[in-house]
Structure 1
């Protein structure tokens, strides 16, 4: 490499490897929109049902499930937590297994059909033990779903395009929480004489999930090339693949890349951020109906519908934050900024007694519940290469981050004030904020160092490899 390259030459060279100007911008936009319309509504809908089937137990409790099944508050927390005993272990193996399938739609549709049936059969639960068994099965079949669709998405998009696409998934999750609240409101009015009102939650949502499986089975393409129909699209796609070369890497399974994902500081920071943000996400989304009812004194009906605007606002905030994150090619500072609002919200929940102020605090927490989790997921996806290192890093991020799903119900065990739960979540958001800023600073330093290597031709970084995200040409999103 020449040592006489100017600063501008280096910047052009780095940019040419990452995301240069496409040969035909209008044609590329049309192709990307085609990917969006084919994949995003389907993936978002399936994630909607995944979130709905996982979190609807909170609405069922408020509607009387705990009384009918004879479970205590402590047992309910255990029922919520036990799902993650099977949910977490299958995340990383599930991604590897899915990538071995030539037609991933068979794997994903089968997975979704199984968890939908688990949700549907929950209406027959009549005891603590039966609820435990169904939640364990639900976790087993749902565990690797989000990791799988995150991996598939990286096969279609540039790193800086992932924030918005991940936002679609989490926006659907916010709709699931809001929709669950609306159903919870409606079922309190149902009195058929045949089923207890809470059972209609599992009946309605389980049937809808089963129907959605058909869309996934027939709608998911085997790979991006299956969507290419014209010569123009083929040329644009080939141009995108050439420009994504450092990111996508066509090599096969390499155990060295898998090991490097475990030791990469980016992965470590990502896991910490994911864990702490998921504490907020799982604790808030599962226990909000109970917080509104027992912590603020609202009725069962009010606790159901007052959560709806909270979740809708959370989804809108994440969509806006993800759009800014992609345009600015910035992740960590966005997470830190939105966490300021969440931290303020939890301080208010702990410090004040007025129910109106506490309800306002829930809207402040909206800034944190989806934004940090989703942007962090796109962050590790954007900054990890080659592909099997990326697949592994995504799986690690989801596996260890989702341990929080088992922990958050254990700290939310003391109604009506849930002091321990709120305090623990507050501390987690502070840790996430610090880690996000530290990781951004680290990646910025690596970008500066990489540029100096390209300018001087002297690689003094003392790295064991110079491929993928360790190549000096790789530019990190901070």
Structure 2
């Protein structure tokens, strides 16, 4: 989504033209609509109706995907907690074996993201697709508890990666289909807060299970960890079928007037209908994304960023270097992530308020760099624990990365969906590499690991600045561009926005002149 300034749409025309406006039920087909479909577009009722619509999404869509995201990372990182209670010994894992167990998940998770988001952009019911993937990874995670060997654990991790790939890029894309650019960053941060708080809840849940379930029914506590967390995820997946919306044009639990309002909101936000044109196939969107140099730079930036933040998979191990028992180490892992969640939401709220992206993302990486410097210069408990708070807060920057991609590559939706999945998928190569960056033999100080992370975040900062410069240049080009000469797909989307809002093409075109990229 992009900044839109200057001209407001003449909403009063909506009432005059409502009877003749066509309502798009599917992407490429239009049908006549009842006048009631436009009843919420009148100037006297729209503000309240729009607030109710956003509040409904905030109460139904957001909590559901946050809950899923909490379980997403709890399931993914359960192996780190299980390591502290006999996983390595029972399965005869070496340090290299354990690192490979962490890395192999990304071998399936990374490549599956692009086709998953391409599918999501084309199917009409994400409320079925995403929950199905949640149930599948919950089942696979639960089955991890029955593994008897290193090879069995590897297989379980690979098959967890495939369905998990659908969630985060898919959730960001789904949010971008419902929220305007002034609303997206904060909601995405709330979503990402699910990941951050999951590190806190996951550690506390693991502490409770590992300390109380050892030997119950003759089963090791680390196996109970997988059984219980997997079962919870499956239940949440079935709940999500009811709770999640589809797209603005076909969500079943919205009235026709609310669906119409949802489409108009997004059309006004960017001056174009948030729909693919007749030529925007999933493969065309992928090609467009691959040809855009910003996508490649974003992808490399994301990879460097996640390599610099790869300590997340080893956080219980890092807190254990403070010299406390297993239970206390897991409890100590929670406060930094609670702090990070609060910082993440405040940072995103301010990013939405100001429309700024670069400093709201990279500034927190610089905090991680300071944390690494502290970590390499002291082994005191207080100093290293403060460093862990700074390191955890670094994810406040990552929380806005996919949002920035959506801002910088807003249309068509097929291109946006592909770009988000490419950036997030390739970015997770950083997690794969990072699985080998925190070697046990480098503990307990982990100085080489911290130097790797510091260098990676410095590279990510440089690439982020390059993207900012590119967007500044593109905004200057937009100021010089004669929008009246628009043809092809872009003209088609502006025409569709005009039909949705009851404007003439010239009026929609005039408003489109305010379109700007966020940087």
If the length of structure 1 is used for normalisation, what is the TM-score? 0.88
Q: Please give the per-residue CA displacement for 1:253-308, whole angstroms capped at 9, x wherever unaligned.
A: 34444322112232123212221222244x22210111122x33232222111000
- Pick closer, same or farther for the CA change 1:11–1:118 going to 2, 3 Å: closer
Query: What is the CA-CA distance between 1:348 and the residue it aligns to?
Result: 1.0
Picking from 211, 221, 239, the partner of 2:235 is 211
Query: What is the CA-CA distance between 1:11 and the residue it aligns to?
Result: 5.5
1:136 aligns with 2:158: yes
Aligned length: 457
Q: Please give the per-residue CA displacement for 1:324-357, whole angstroms capped at 9, x wherever unaligned.
A: 1111111111112222211100111112222220
Task: Please show how residues 452-467 of structure 1 align to structure 2 within 5 Å.
Answer: 452-453=480-481
| 2:178–2:266 Cα contact (<8 Å) kept | no
Picking from 446, 463, 466, the partner of 1:438 is 466
3-state DSSP of counterpart to 2:400: helix
- Pick closer, same or farther for the CA change 1:417–1:466 going to 2, 3 Å: same
In 1, distance between residues paired with 2:385 and 2:465?
29
Greater displacement, 68-77 / 188-197: 188-197
- Pick closer, same or farther for the CA change 1:57–1:11 going to 2, 3 Å: closer
In 2, distance between residues paired with 1:423 and 1:142?
30
In 2, distance between residues paired with 1:102 and 1:232?
19
**Which residue of structure 2 aligns with residue 237 of structure 1?**
262
| 2:276–2:414 Cα contact (<8 Å) kept | no
Query: What is the CA-CA distance between 1:92 and the residue it aligns to?
Result: 0.5
Q: Please give the per-residue CA displacement for 1:411-430, whole angstroms capped at 9, x wherever unaligned.
A: 11132222222111111111
Q: CA RMSD in A?
A: 2.7
| 1:163–1:326 Cα contact (<8 Å) kept | yes
Task: Please show how residues 6-17 of structure 1 align to structure 2 within 5 Å.
Answer: 12-13=6-7
**Which residue of structure 2 aligns with residue 122 of structure 1?**
144
**Which residue of structure 2 aligns with residue 476 of structure 1?**
517
Query: What is the CA-CA distance between 1:236 and the residue it aligns to?
Result: 3.4
**Which residue of structure 2 aligns with residue 393 of structure 1?**
419
Q: Which runs of structure 1 show a deviation greater than 6 angstroms over 4 or more consecutive aligned residues?
A: 463-469
1:352 aligns with 2:384: no
| 1:53–1:206 Cα contact (<8 Å) kept | yes
3-state DSSP of counterpart to 1:297: coil
Task: Please show how residues 368-383 of structure 1 align to structure 2 within 5 Å.
Answer: 368=394, 370-383=395-408
Task: Please show how residues 288-367 of structure 1 align to structure 2 within 5 Å.
Answer: 288-293=315-320, 295-367=321-393
In 1, distance between residues paired with 2:9 and 2:244?
31
Picking from 20, 24, 44, the partner of 2:66 is 44
- Pick closer, same or farther for the CA change 1:188–1:219 going to 2, 3 Å: closer
**Which residue of structure 2 aligns with residue 286 of structure 1?**
313
| 2:108–2:159 Cα contact (<8 Å) kept | yes
Query: What is the CA-CA distance between 1:142 and the residue it aligns to?
Result: 1.0
In 1, distance between residues paired with 2:181 and 2:378?
42
1:60 aligns with 2:86: no
3-state DSSP of counterpart to 1:45: helix
In 1, distance between residues paired with 2:472 and 2:183?
19
In 2, distance between residues paired with 1:251 and 1:465?
6
Unpaired runs of at least 5, structure 1 = 1-9
Query: What is the CA-CA distance between 1:118 and the residue it aligns to?
Result: 1.0
| 1:270–1:397 Cα contact (<8 Å) kept | yes
**Which residue of structure 1 aligns with residue 55 of structure 2?**
33
- Pick closer, same or farther for the CA change 1:149–1:235 going to 2, 3 Å: closer
| 2:337–2:393 Cα contact (<8 Å) kept | no
| 1:454–1:472 Cα contact (<8 Å) kept | no
